[in-house]
């Protein structure tokens, strides 16, 4: 037999028999016989969507002295040595299995029930309510002596992420990404059989918790794989899921959902620790740490990379955006786009003339910030490459960060005069038209920016990137998987 916080499963011969515990945990109530019978019936119906040949039907158990029968879910017994969790623990290759599970999950999500009731659970407000309910439960458990570190920071990070992302969640609903899914996808419930994987034990006690974003559904298994020491497999599984489902979600949402799933499991582990389960307390701490780390990584950032012509700001901007896997917007490119000329075509003019009048510059920066606004609201972090010499434009960027609840970091690139002059002399046709005379004129009028982090670009690029990264991500990225949108290659 094996036991969870809500059920006991007995194994005998070729069958498994699952009995619900008569518990009331607040978020579920199995304290009455009718409630347990209803839950068993519901479990069979829902799980047959994923493994129809495993869930055989409803049975009953009656002890010799009992006057009533206890409902039992009767299942085909799966081979324990083919559990995905065991294979991962043994270091066995699981790429093909994860590919098949990702395809199966995406296929179900494509045809899964949708509707107003389902969509309501995919709103930002619904996700926020689930987080807040979980925080409240953990605070109550802490009063009983079962607390977790980092809950206060998690609350702050969750609220900040959700505060600026209404457009993101509205778009997810419009795209039909919210579905009646699995809701509890763990490696121990996936069995890797020769004729394909069997996915068991979906969430049945609350439909609202099973109505979720498809990416949230997939993130549960990714979180579990990471917990089992397979972060690369976790990242690949999510990438495959997004490939098969055609989902272009921002990496910040991947991390947020992984954090939420780790948080949910941490809460469950705390409940198990209260019930006396061995190892549950350490599991709760490990899961809480994972949740906190992904919340930190999921934070949406607005990075301003400033500097005079020849300071190396554009080179640093490109390298930084590539290293972070975020969007890059350049004022030089936006300016020429607005003028309707190719980016490589020269528009050189005197200081403050041509495309560089105050009016053109104001229009360029307004467009730059508008585009950043749209990206940040959809969960995309952004690097903005511009000189940022005007205090009003700097203030406008600060207001944008506040409005979108984005973490603002300003970097100011600089290099010795001879280095900058050499760069300008060697510069060929490209987005920037500034030469030595323009650089000198701008230097004479550039106001100080004490809030910006100074970055010396005169040495190796990697040194400048490392300095920039330490400012943008002071907590580092640790061992979490790097979530990037997949290249849509043929399978």
| pLDDT of res. 484 | 54
475 pLDDT exceeds 70?
A: no
Please write the tens of the pLDDT for every residue from 363-420.
999 999 999 999 999 999 999 999 999 999 999 999 999 999 999 999 999 999 889 8
Domains of the chain plus CATH, in order, are: 2-73 (no CATH), 80-298 (3.90.1200), 301-472 (3.40.50.300)
Residue 406 to residue 138: CA distance in whole angstroms = 27
355 pLDDT exceeds 60?
A: yes
Please write the tens of the pLDDT for every residue from 64-82.
888 889 999 999 999 999 9
487 pLDDT exceeds 60?
A: no
Please write the tens of the pLDDT for every residue from 98-143.
999 999 999 999 999 999 999 999 999 999 999 999 999 999 988 8
Exposure of 254 by Cβ count < 10 A (0-12 exposed, 13-18 middle, 19+ buried)? buried
Least confident interval from 13-27, 137-151, 237-251, 320-334: 137-151
Work out the pLDDT band at 480, boundaries 50, 70, 90. Answer: very low
**% of residues, the chain, pLDDT over 90:** 77
Q: Indicate the average pLDDT of the chain.
A: 92
């Amino acid at each position: 037999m094996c036991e969870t916080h809500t059920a006991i499963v007995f194994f005998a011969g070729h069958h498994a028999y699952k009995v619900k515990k008569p518990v009331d945990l607040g978020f579920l109530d199995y304290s009455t016989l009718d409630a347990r019978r209803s839950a068993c019936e519901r479990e069979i119906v829902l799980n047959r969507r994923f493994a129809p040949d495993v869930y055989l039907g409803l049975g009953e158990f009656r002890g010799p002295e009992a006057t009533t029968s206890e409902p039992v879910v009767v299942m085909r017994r799966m081979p324990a040595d083919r559990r995905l969790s065991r294979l991962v623990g043994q270091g066995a290759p699981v790429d093909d299995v994860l590919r098949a599970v990702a395809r199966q999950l995406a296929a179900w999500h494509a045809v899964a029930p949708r509707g107003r009731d389902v969509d309501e659970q995919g709103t930002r407000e619904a996700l926020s309510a689930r987080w807040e309910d979980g925080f409240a439960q953990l605070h109550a458990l802490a009063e009983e002596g079962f607390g977790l570190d980092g809950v206060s920071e998690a609350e702050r990070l969750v609220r900040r992420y959700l505060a600026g992302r209404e457009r993101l969640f509205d778009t997810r609903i419009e795209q039909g990404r919210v579905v009646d899914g699995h809701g509890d996808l763990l490696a121990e419930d996936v069995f890797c059989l020769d004729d394909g994987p069997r996915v068991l034990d979906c969430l049945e006690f609350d439909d609202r918790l099973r109505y979720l974003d498809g990416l949230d559904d997939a993130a549960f298994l990714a979180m579990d794989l990471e917990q089992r020491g397979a972060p690369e497999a976790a990242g690949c599984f999510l990438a495959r899921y997004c490939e098969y489902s055609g989902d272009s979600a921002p990496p910040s949402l991947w991390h947020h959902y992984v954090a939420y799933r780790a948080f949910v499991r941490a809460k469950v582990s705390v409940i198990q620790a209260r019930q006396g389960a061995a190892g549950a307390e350490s599991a709760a701490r490990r899961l809480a740490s994972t949740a906190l780390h992904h919340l930190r990584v999921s934070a949406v950032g607005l990075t301003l990379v400033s500097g005079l012509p020849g300071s190396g700001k554009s080179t640093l901007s490109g390298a930084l955006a590539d290293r972070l896997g975020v969007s890059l917007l350049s004022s030089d490119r936006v300016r020429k786009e607005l003028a309707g000329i190719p980016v490589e075509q020269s528009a050189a003019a005197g200081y403050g003339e041509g495309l560089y009048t105050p009016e053109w510059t104001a229009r360029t920066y307004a467009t730059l910030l508008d585009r950043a606004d749209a990206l940040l609201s959809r969960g995309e972090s952004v690097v903005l490459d511009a000189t940022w010499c005007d205090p009003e434009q700097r203030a406008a960027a600060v207001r944008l960060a506040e409005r979108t609840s984005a973490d603002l970091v300003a970097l100011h690139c600089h290099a010795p005069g001879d280095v900058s002059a050499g760069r300008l002399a060697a510069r060929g046709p490209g987005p920037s038209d500034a030469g030595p005379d323009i650089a000198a004129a701008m230097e004479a009028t550039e106001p100080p920016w004490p809030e910006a982090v100074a970055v010396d670009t005169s040495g190796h690029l990697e040194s400048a990137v490392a300095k920039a990264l330490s400012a943008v991500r002071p907590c580092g990225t640790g061992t979490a998987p790097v979530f990037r949108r997949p290249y849509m290659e043929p399978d």
